[in-house]
Chains A and B, each alone.
Chain A
């Protein structure tokens, strides 16, 4: 099998220490030029940018890649038209970055185009001003007559009153993070997942040591880095706090739904001042509906709720009425980090979505910067700005290459619909399907497991799920979780007795996405799921 290159980011082993320590202590040390805290779009984008400038980094995250907002968003590459009225700077950035990513990261996106549509009762002034506001930000917005709009998207409501075509696209944030990190690691960087920053040791106005604890075995590593970058998204305030620096981050939770069928070819946006559930985004074989914006106080227990689900279905079906009876596969929720600068209004949607770059020399810490806020669409730009500042501190004179160098493609198992094509082409009858909903073969799982390099540990089903389509189909992991686990034993990837713990973790994780959307067919599936895992296997006992 050759669709995955070498150097797919896996899990680093606990690093070999460079300094010796008394035998009593179980602490390793690690030296690195740049430590990046946070493995989302920004952190992985930054790792790649720096690696291309010859600066190797170590990236740590308390979870796996995209554990925060980068793993819980719409997957939308904004044309920027959504922001033209309230946040023109963001709008312009989105447009520019969209052009760059189309050129350099085509394999991570689908250039679907987008429509902005207004329904009877929507604000006529907003509709009238829209083309001019787009033009101001250099965003092409073509007026589309209603008949054409319905030819382009047959499922649009008959209550349509206006439509514009804009250059929206969709992007796969998992693939994006994986590809960025893959190139970075191929150039000498390191990824440490499930590694949580637990403190800084400061001296002489700089961070001397960053203490990182492995969430698997508790082993602590002391990281000595020339530069430390805080790219921790919603956790940025928490991380900055280790250096005694306060950053005011608002937590804005958003929920999204995934439908079983893809209802639109294009992105479809509501042509009004940004509000809840305005956007329908096609994603491979599904549609993603959302989102909400709810202020929360804590990053614990973030999960979709039934009222949010109902709100999203109701609003989305104003644009596409068939959503009212569509099968919802699952829901997910994430938290946007909004950096409060000056007094923010009560509406979180009015806080700027532009990036926040902080050089903490202003706060008396010499080798520490924070890059946060922003949007998925502008991640590359955020990474560039952060990399510029890091290189300035390091005295590195290399220019940014991420506007020029294409992002190489090395792993394709997250692409929906790809696994079946590849499997058919390979025609290896012994390559059995482990996930039948998404047609993921054994070989895909074997390859992914091969990249998760720690032989003493059972590869977590969750990690396999992240790097492939396992569990993302109609059954939502009901059978394939068991099948993948059994496969790991049958192929000797696993000998340990902790298989059941992983099974529980996997099914619990999937449940978070199902719990608020269990009606209709999905409820039948959930019943089978519980009959299998509880009635037969007694996992709850």
Chain B
């Protein structure tokens, strides 16, 4: 085993999901020497749209139209919700930074100026969300205006049926139609994956062939909807090219994981973070972590490669059960890295309700780390566990991101606030990038 490589840095983010990658961006923006560590995260399962607040109160299934007003009501009703610790100005600023960064990286996310928008999913449900990749935006408008629209699916792409969407929405969108087409040069393939088709569309010659196939089908339709395959690395060119050739707006439909728009989020963050001087160790596992000097020391390992990191600040953005930040045995929920106390129901019989779709949600989904006003986790006595340890994202307690539809918002805004708090505590940044 070779000597571990030593890294000294100001701020280490553990977790490369939505919260962790956003935190990396915010930390670099504040001039901090930044390291982001983490393997595959919950982000691998993202569908593309970013939610800020979609439902409140969840018991009443009340759909939120203006998320800012919704948040105002939510923080009054649920004062322990992480949003309650963040000023509205900072909530807005956090989003502004990420949206601007994504625009600069060539993968813009779009939103309405004053509220949530609605988009159709691949199962024919309507999803209320805050912002969407540009590749989906025309779908929002097509649905809003109920324009004559053609959905296209592909032979061998088994997880997408245009007919399913048309049939499910028949009464609400009578001018929605479905066609099946063979994607160029795939006749011999029994099965195609969305990732494969997306990479094909990155190639101009494939786009030309696809457009040629689709052009005769356009007819009187005013928009064309496709499965989520509009490019892996070059989605902007893909959309522009197809729209130019077909003469109508083109969009992709958000679908269940593993989805290309979900993968693009991570790709875009990685590109941005590298460009902006963050260090990324995205394959390595944190083997050990402990307080060290005025900060922490971590040991990371992957195969025969090892790192020892000395860092002043650490942000736990490790996610929940799926992401590995929390784990549960038959008796209790634990936080996996530091064994910090986890706020949770008293007994496992209270974790989940009898019905999966119970509108009140499942109490275990609100379990997690409790933090102070600076987003620092608390110890058993209710005091700050470590002065420079922070937590952000879905690992936090007192939120139900899946029911409130506030996942991305939670990740982005709490990591913004945590970085801000760290900067407030620190001396001026001087660490290596």
Contact = CB atoms under 8 A, between A and B. Distances in A.
Which of B121, B123, B156, B357 has most chain A Cβ within 10 Å?
Answer: B123
Contacts of A534: 357, 402-403
Given A497-B168, A500-B124, A536-B254, A530 B356 contact: yes
B167 interface: yes
B122 to A, nearest CB: 8
Contacts of A434: 158
Interface in B343-371: 347-349, 351-359, 362, 364-365
A520 B320 contact: no
Nearest to A529: B356
Given A306-B349, A483-B159, A520-B328, A500 B125 contact: yes
Contact of B330 (A303, A310, A492): A310
A531 B321 contact: no
B235 interface: no
A382 B71 CA distance: 64
B177 interface: no
Contacts of B402: 530-531, 534-535
Nearest to B188: A429
Nearest to A496: B167
Binding site of B, secondary structure by majority: helix, strand, loop or mixed? loop
Contact of A540 (B254, B256, B359): B359
Binding site of A, secondary structure by majority: helix, strand, loop or mixed? helix
A432 B190 CA distance: 8
Contact of A541 (B61, B168, B354): B61
Contacts of B164: 485-486, 489-490, 499
Interface in A303-329: 303, 305-307, 310, 313
A538 to B, nearest CB: 5
Interface residues of A, number: 54
A532 interface: yes
A327 to B, nearest CB: 12
A30 B75 CA distance: 62
Contact of B401 (A442, A504, A535, A537): A535
Contacts of B42: 531
Interface stretch (A115-123, A126-134, A246-254, A507-515): A507-515
A535 B405 contact: yes
Contacts of A520: 327-329
A528 B158 contact: no
A344 B386 CA distance: 63
A538 B126 contact: yes
A103 B181 CA distance: 53
Interface in B372-428: 401-403, 405, 407
A335 interface: no
B143 to A, nearest CB: 14
Contacts of A511: 355-356
Given A432-B190, A499-B164, A524-B322, A515 B354 contact: yes
A430 interface: yes
A260 to B, nearest CB: 15
Contact of B256 (A495, A515, A532, A541): A532
A519 B330 contact: yes
Nearest to B178: A489
A496 B191 CA distance: 26
A500 B322 contact: no
B191 A528 contact: no
Interface in A172-210: none
**Which 3 residue pairs of A and B lie closest in terms of their CB atoms, listed nearest first?**
A489-B164, A511-B356, A306-B349
Interface of A: 301, 303, 305-307, 310, 313, 429-432, 434, 442, 479, 482-483, 485-487, 489-490, 492, 494-497, 499-500, 503-504, 507-508, 511, 515, 518-520, 523-524, 526-528, 530-541
Interface of B: 42, 45, 47, 51, 55, 61, 63, 121-128, 153, 156, 158-161, 163-164, 167-171, 180, 190-191, 254, 256-257, 320-322, 327-330, 347-349, 351-359, 362, 364-365, 401-403, 405, 407
